[in-house]
Structure 1
Amino acid sequence: MSNASTPARDRLEQILSRLDARGGEDRAYVRLYAENARAEADAADERGRAGNSLGPLDGKIVSIKDLVDVAGEPTLAGSVIRRSAPPAMADAPVLARLRAAGAVIIGKTHMTEFAFTAVGLNPHDPVPGNATDKSLIPGGSSSGAGVSVAEGTCDIAIGSDTGGSIRIPAALNGVVGFKPTASRIPLDGTFPLSPSLDSIGPLARTVADCAAADAVMAGTQPDVLAARPLTGLRVGVPLGLLLEELSPEIAAAFSASLDRLSRAGAQIVDCAIDDLIGRLRQATRIGSIAGLEASRIHAAWLPDDAAPVDERVTAPLRRRLAVSDEAIADLLQTRRTLVAEMDERLSRCDLIALPTTPIAAVPITSVETDEAEYDRVEGLLLRNCQVANQFDLTAISLPVPGLARPAGLMLMGRNGTDEGVLATALSVETLLRDC
């Protein structure tokens, strides 16, 4: 992609030309808004010439996940069953805020059906191969978001994260992905997966761009982010199950990252959370929170055996329909208790560090037809990331340099510490980049 100092219209045309050259082979986007984007880019350039910039997002080229409402069209959420849905009456608030900040909305990106799976496959659309190697999975459910940022067909992508759906594709494609505290950004006008766990957030090539998009969507002032010093920072490492089954390369990269943090003045401390994770696992033996809540959202079509929906979605959701509302209410109460206990536990450190995923991207062919391997890979991709959603935390994934296949370093913070996590991530980003 051209330098950001290039006029927005010129950068947009370069991207549209790249996408057009692919013909029917482009898989990251499911819909383009070329003419409207041209008008938005021209307006941003005119403001720039007049010295009337709207801020750091003015003229930035932004993609949005296929679950964000755009006025006048149905919101498909990656599903053919939604093609007959009524058109959205208005843009989602997050989209309206992006437009008001001068963002150039280029198109909607590929996602897994109803955002329910994490590998990146959707039977209705060709898989967008990983930006670094098209034979590898992109990660999901914000699959096209991760690919579009990493390949340079947008500056910032907007995704959703219910169990890692921003951070997984960010890690696997080598970009930054930020999951805000769930209550920080309005979910109105975005198709839900699990209202208790859903978050809307950005992916970008830099922490600064993520922070600017996050601030705009949250309705706060997108001021220039000041890096938080690492000296004296208490970084908790949860030894135990979240560090099991790491690939050798990711284990070595994580160890090296901790060493760099330590040499930069951070204090690495133990932070045991396996007991809290274990108690939540016990409580969710009736079904995951996401699956249980999604079964209610999709109850109207789930009994229809002919519904054209991914079997990886229908099968688990149908099982969850049998769970009573009372049992779900009890589970959510248990979760609230555990969220409070996790918050107290994390008060002993400034943030938590983990590998975003224990493994890097695997070949698409390895999971397309082998259900056991698909389940193994998906379980590993979700394992570390979903902790932030389950316990109502905020988290960011930063690309780790020097690996044959991309991987991420995840920093997790307590509920509501979003700006502090972003400020720390800015320093860690520089630390990783300079080493």
Structure 2
Amino acid sequence: MTDANLPLAADIADAVRSGDISAAAIIADTLASIEALNPTLNCFTEVLAQRATERAAQLDARRAAGQDPGPLAGVPFAVKNLFDIAGVTTLAGSKINRDNPVATRDAVLVERLENAGAILVGALAMGEYAYDFTGENEHYGACRNPWDPARMSGGSSSGSGSATAAGLAPISLGSDTNGSIRVPSSLCGLFGLKPTYGRLPRTGSYPFCDSLDHLGPLARSSADLALAFDCLQGFDAGDPACAERPSLPTHERLDLGVDGLRCAVAGGYFDCTAFPEAQAAVAQVAAALGASRELELPGADAGRSAAYLVTNAEGAALHRERLRQRPQDFDADTRDRFLAGTLWPAGWYVRAQAVRRWWLEQMLAVFREVDIVIAPATPCCAPAVGTTTLNVRGELQALRPNLGLFTQPFSAVGLPVVSVPLWSESAGLPIGVQLVAAPWREDLCLRAARALETAGITLRATPPVSSAGS
């Protein structure tokens, strides 16, 4: 583990706003780092050098003219390639989408970050159609982990995890249907936020499963995560799932601490004694937050099963024509799982949605007693690229779905979750822990994350492959 010398988004914005450094210089350095490191990490699928350079010049001119450059002034960011970018084809990690026309405008969340002064530098690698937890894409190659390029970055927001951990994009955007922000955050050593379902609009992003799709940010500090989240918040009528509720200034509430917060550890389904790296991380967080109580959370396994059925059924319906016309152009694993989804009886889907509603009721009851539930994010640290199996409590199972073993139940009911990064001494790699709260209480997750960071519990370090050494 090396010294923490990668700049944070808040520090960059402060320096640009004060005139200590220009946005143009920040972007020039960022583009040079991407050019140097992307051949190793394979995290960018599109680098927007001209757009970013022009945007930086415009921002510097506005600042020189006395205009406010925004709370994220000059901060480079990048987005999973399922976000629309004007003039770029939205790949969603697929081969088939290469034939689509370019997007005519940016996704709403891209627009919001740029309106706050951030500068988009590129599109990021991802699992095909977001149906992956490994970061290994059959069409574009494996996205690599900057802590060890022989290891997975996690998915499906693989490039978001890799690029942000390496310092190539202090903030990135990903999507999370069953864990696709939290898994790469865990494996790459980042703070990642899956917000409440419907809190951030998905307008201008390529869908996967409408009932479960979330969008959110990844960052290297809790403050950067909260700052980005504040800039992203707000209703948009283009997403029918987006709830029209007032935004909450989470960044201003970070230092309220956790006094009075009732924290408990998820047990039962979430017991991780069979996963020593995860167990040690959860124990460390629980001790720091004073969580002596353990909750069984009965029904978590049913919630995960429901999420599987809903994901497969809705994903299969979305891709039905592509499955008919171009089955050979899918990743074989992705294709087969979508094909399975076409065979579910309608009654199974209806039942799965009913189970989701029931599981949400169980969790809402839990949050009448506690404020934060602590759970592992992934069963293990980053596996080696090419690994296909995982020992799940004494039984060898497929790795790809089981990296989401602990994330799926919370996705199933749209709860807000922050994944916080810790360092596993035994593995010599990062691993994440989930902080889960009641709907619309992202502020509580972020406050707890901030308290852990202030106490020195969470990871803040520079991976061996990073822009600091490029």
Pair in the same fold by TM > 0.5: yes
Moved more, 423-432 or 205-214: 423-432
1:165 positional shift: 0.5
1:412 positional shift: 0.6
1:132 positional shift: 0.4
Aligned residue among 68, 76, 87 for 2:102: 87
Check whether the contact 1:230–1:261 (CA below 8 A) recurs between aligned residues.
yes
Aligned residue among 355, 358, 371 for 1:337: 358
Aligned equivalent of 2:25: 10
Aligned equivalent of 2:136: 121
The 5-angstrom pairing of residues 421-432 of structure 1 reads: 421-432=445-456
Check whether the contact 2:41–2:145 (CA below 8 A) recurs between aligned residues.
no
> Secondary structure at 1:301's aligned position in 2?
helix
| TM-score, normalising length: structure 1 | 0.91
Aligned residue among 259, 263, 269 for 1:241: 269
* One-letter code aligned to 2:117: G
Check whether the contact 2:269–2:301 (CA below 8 A) recurs between aligned residues.
no
Q: How many residues align?
A: 424
Instruction: Say which structure, 1 or 2, has more relative contact order (CA 8 Å, 6+ apart).
Output: 2
> Secondary structure at 1:249's aligned position in 2?
helix
> Secondary structure at 2:398's aligned position in 1?
helix
* Distance of 1:282 and 1:25 partners within structure 2: 37
* Distance of 2:169 and 2:304 partners within structure 1: 38
* Distance of 2:98 and 2:305 partners within structure 1: 38
* Distance of 2:303 and 2:327 partners within structure 1: 34
Aligned equivalent of 1:315: 336
1:314 positional shift: 0.4
* One-letter code aligned to 2:355: T
The 5-angstrom pairing of residues 376-415 of structure 1 reads: 376-401=398-423, 403=425, 404-415=428-439
* One-letter code aligned to 1:190: S
CA shift in 2, pair 1:24/1:378, >3 Å: closer
Aligned equivalent of 2:238: none
Aligned equivalent of 1:270: 294
Identity rate of aligned residues, in percent? 29
* One-letter code aligned to 1:317: F
Check whether the contact 1:367–1:374 (CA below 8 A) recurs between aligned residues.
no
1:312 positional shift: 1.2
Matched, 1:361 2:382: yes
1:82 positional shift: 0.5
CA shift in 2, pair 1:50/1:399, >3 Å: farther
Matched, 1:418 2:445: no
* Distance of 1:434 and 1:201 partners within structure 2: 20
* Distance of 1:206 and 1:169 partners within structure 2: 15
CA shift in 2, pair 1:23/1:353, >3 Å: closer
Aligned residue among 176, 185, 193 for 2:191: 176
Matched, 1:28 2:55: no
* Distance of 2:332 and 2:310 partners within structure 1: 19
Aligned residue among 303, 308, 319 for 1:280: 303
Matched, 1:208 2:212: no
Check whether the contact 1:179–1:200 (CA below 8 A) recurs between aligned residues.
yes
1:116 positional shift: 0.3
* Distance of 1:348 and 1:252 partners within structure 2: 25
CA shift in 2, pair 1:122/1:216, >3 Å: same
CA shift in 2, pair 1:23/1:392, >3 Å: closer
1:245 positional shift: 5.3
Check whether the contact 1:359–1:380 (CA below 8 A) recurs between aligned residues.
no
Check whether the contact 2:372–2:444 (CA below 8 A) recurs between aligned residues.
no
CA shift in 2, pair 1:387/1:225, >3 Å: farther
Which residues of structure 2 form unaligned runs of 5+? 1-5, 16-20, 235-246, 390-394, 460-470
Matched, 1:225 2:249: no
Check whether the contact 1:228–1:424 (CA below 8 A) recurs between aligned residues.
no
> Secondary structure at 2:439's aligned position in 1?
coil
> Secondary structure at 2:215's aligned position in 1?
strand
* Distance of 1:365 and 1:321 partners within structure 2: 28
1:270-328 CA-partner distances (Å, limit 9, x unpaired) = 2221x2123335656xx522111100100111134643110111001101101244432
Check whether the contact 2:125–2:158 (CA below 8 A) recurs between aligned residues.
yes
* Distance of 2:385 and 2:302 partners within structure 1: 34
1:185 positional shift: 0.5
* Distance of 1:94 and 1:106 partners within structure 2: 15
CA shift in 2, pair 1:96/1:380, >3 Å: same
| TM-score, normalising length: structure 2 | 0.84
1:47 positional shift: 3.6
CA shift in 2, pair 1:245/1:175, >3 Å: same
Runs of 4+ in structure 1 deviating by more than 6 angstroms, as ranges, are none
* Distance of 1:21 and 1:392 partners within structure 2: 38
* Distance of 1:207 and 1:47 partners within structure 2: 29
* Distance of 1:23 and 1:166 partners within structure 2: 20
CA shift in 2, pair 1:174/1:93, >3 Å: same
> Secondary structure at 1:124's aligned position in 2?
coil
**Cα RMSD over matched residues?**
2.4
1:261 positional shift: 2.0
1:322-379 CA-partner distances (Å, limit 9, x unpaired) = 12444323321331232123212222101101121120001113339xxxx9953234
